[in-house]
A and B are shown apart, each in its own frame.
Chain A
Amino acid sequence: MTSIAAKMRTESVSLFYGKNQALKQVTLSIPRNQITAIIGPSGCGKSSFLRLFNRMNDLIPQTKVEGQVYLEEQPIYNARIDVVELRKKVGMVFQKPNPFPMSVFDNVAYGPRVHGIKDRVHLEEIVERCLKQAALWDEVKDKLKTSALSLSGGQQQRLCIARVLAVEPEVILLDEPCSALDPISTMRIEDLMQELKKGYTLIIVTHNMQQAARASDFTAFLLAGELIEFGPTKELFTAPRDSRTEGYITGRWG
């Protein structure tokens, strides 16, 4: 379907919450250095699907995963995998900005410190680089010591992205990152995603179809836990192959 090499892929993945099956044999390749959007109606399994990629579902009791997910062709549902290391490589940004109640600087430096970096100069370098990458540096460079909670929602979300970048991930998962933001902040995040895809692979779950159409390169449409269609965003939104995709994106139902 795509000639771009897969950074991650799922192979016949089924996910169960107790007796409920949230995902049904989903097989999908996530193209490297591209933005892949996951769309579908509420409850279709989008967020569950996203959480597979860094094993966040492990934190929910009574979940069972069948099938396999690969990062660079290495299986991640494997007893030998270091989940902390996996979540460092596959970072996540959530719906509501969730900065830690500490300074802007400490938020970004948190991850590197946890991973053993103590040198002040080195930390300063990391913080500056990540805030620049997250397009936030110019706005906060004079208030690195102030509380992250004093920033606007849009700034907080970019801070959370900077925090993810600080541990040098390879893949960034975004779970409706703009649903709590105004249009201007949303545009900033979307611009930022375009910048970030040069160095990272991005997967975004979004309720906003226009956002998926605008901001992604590939789109996957999930319905009731099944992958209905996956393809280049431009094709999926102009001439979807499946009538269920057509029905959903034109608003005939869903």
Chain B
Amino acid sequence: MSAVRRTLEADIKEMEEMVLQMGSKVRESLRLTVKALKGRDKDLMNWIIKNDDVIDELARQIDQKAVATIATQQPMASDLRVLIGIIRTITDLERIGDLSESVAKEGLKIADQPLLKPLIDIPRMVEIIDGMLEDALQAFMLRDANRAEKMCLRDDEIDGLRDQVQRELLTYMIEDPRTITRATPLLVISLFLERAGDHTTNIGEHVIYMVTGEVKDLNI
């Protein structure tokens, strides 16, 4: 193999590892939102908000490296698709990071009051998204389009849970309008999490593009 080719492969490998690192930080923030909400833990919420800066910085580094690689190595075919896939993937990971931060900020609004109800569906949503993210990152590393496609199917569960959360919270608010201030942040959180699920599905689509060159819309 030529030295130039080795450089390109080493660059891609390094970027993949950075994406994994970014992915695990995003998953950490996401998972911790549940712990922070359940424990009304303001310190933890603030930590999540701060952790987003770390995620953003990683995204910036990967993006710079990808752009430099495109400019200097002029990758073609699967190499090009992988680089485009990396750039798109970090955009979605970065958005999931932002959404976790937004969940934490909503959490801060209700941290001084008792929870309206025990959290069941929201933790379930986070658990599913986290599992999907794990699958998405695995599929990304292994270039496994089947796994990516299967992962995307789970997005329906998240949408179902969001509907359920909304129905339930609306019932609370209709029965007793005084619950509105405590219910609204939870309602907003369920919307944020649904969006996080959509971004995870996008990552699955990027993996499929990297492997096959096909653009599929699996956010149905």
Contacts and interface: CB of A to CB of B under 8 A. Distances in A.
B124 interface: no
A210 B77 contact: no
B213 A250 contact: no
Contacts of B74: 210
A238 B4 CA distance: 20
B81 interface: yes
A246 interface: yes
B208 to A, nearest CB: 12
Given A239-B212, A239-B213, A250 B78 contact: yes
Nearest to A247: B77
Contacts of A250: 5, 75-79
B77 A239 contact: yes
A249 interface: yes
Contacts of B214: 239
B212 A251 contact: no
Nearest to A239: B213
Chain B CB within 10 Å, residue with most, of A239, A240, A249: A239
Nearest to B80: A238
A237 interface: yes
Interface residues of A, number: 13
A238 B5 contact: no
A145 to B, nearest CB: 43
Contacts of A209: 76
B5 A252 contact: yes
Nearest to B79: A250
B174 interface: no
Interface string A20-60: 00000000000000000000000000000000000000000
A137 B208 CA distance: 50
B213 to A, nearest CB: 3
A240 B81 CA distance: 11
B182 to A, nearest CB: 51
Given A238-B80, A239-B213, A252 B75 contact: no
Nearest to B84: A238
Given A210-B74, A238-B213, A251 B5 contact: yes
A101 to B, nearest CB: 39
Contacts of B2: 251
A86 interface: no
A240 B74 CA distance: 16
A213 interface: yes
A210 B1 CA distance: 20
Contacts of A239: 77, 81, 212-214
Interface in B1-35: 1-2, 4-5, 8
A209 B80 CA distance: 14
A252 B77 CA distance: 11
A73 B80 CA distance: 38
A59 B212 CA distance: 45
A241 to B, nearest CB: 9
Interface in A217-254: 237-240, 245-246, 249-252
B79 to A, nearest CB: 5
B205 to A, nearest CB: 15
Contacts of A210: 74
A251 B80 contact: no
9 contacts: A213-B76, A237-B80, A238-B81, A246-B77, A246-B78, A249-B76, A251-B2, A251-B8, A252-B5
Interface of B: 1-2, 4-5, 8, 74-81, 212-214
| Nearest 5 CB-CB pairings of A with B | A239-B213, A249-B76, A251-B5, A246-B77, A250-B79
